[in-house]
Amino acid sequence: MLSERETRRLHEIELQFRLNDPRLVRRFAVLHQVVPTSPRAGGLLAGLAGAGSRSVHGAGPLPSALLALSLLVLLAGAIAVNVPAVIAGTVLAAVALATAATVSRPRPGTA
């Protein structure tokens, strides 16, 4: 959380941008329309405050289980100095992360 002094200074900087570079402000306004902000974000730079970010946690149990399995395979391959096992663990980790990135689950509270 910002102090009152920091918040005031941030608003002063925002006002200076609005007065001195309206083209930049319009660009951020367009970005804000393309990438909606989170309810906690605000101000001129709110469109870049992590809005629209995705989380692997929201993808469900399958990618997490695949990632855990891949880490076990990688560890076993490293201990046994088995290159094919390490490659298999790496490929399995990539599949787990690709699965997590492509699974779309609705967020709670959104319709």
- Could you tell me the mean pLDDT of each successive run of 10 residues in the chain, 111 residues long? 88 88 82 61 46 59 87 92 92 88 62 48
| pLDDT at residue number 38 | 53
Q: Quick one: DSSP state of residue 109?
A: T
Instruction: Measure CA 38 to chain center.
Output: 12
The H-or-E segment that residue 61 falls in is: helix 61-79
Burial (0-12, 13-18, 19+ Cβ within 10 Å), 16: exposed
| pLDDT at residue number 36 | 59
| pLDDT at residue number 107 | 54
| pLDDT at residue number 48 | 43
Residue type, 69: L
Cα gap 35→41, rounded to integer Å: 12
pTM above 0.85, yes or no: no
Backbone angles phi, psi at 40, to 5 degrees: -80, -20
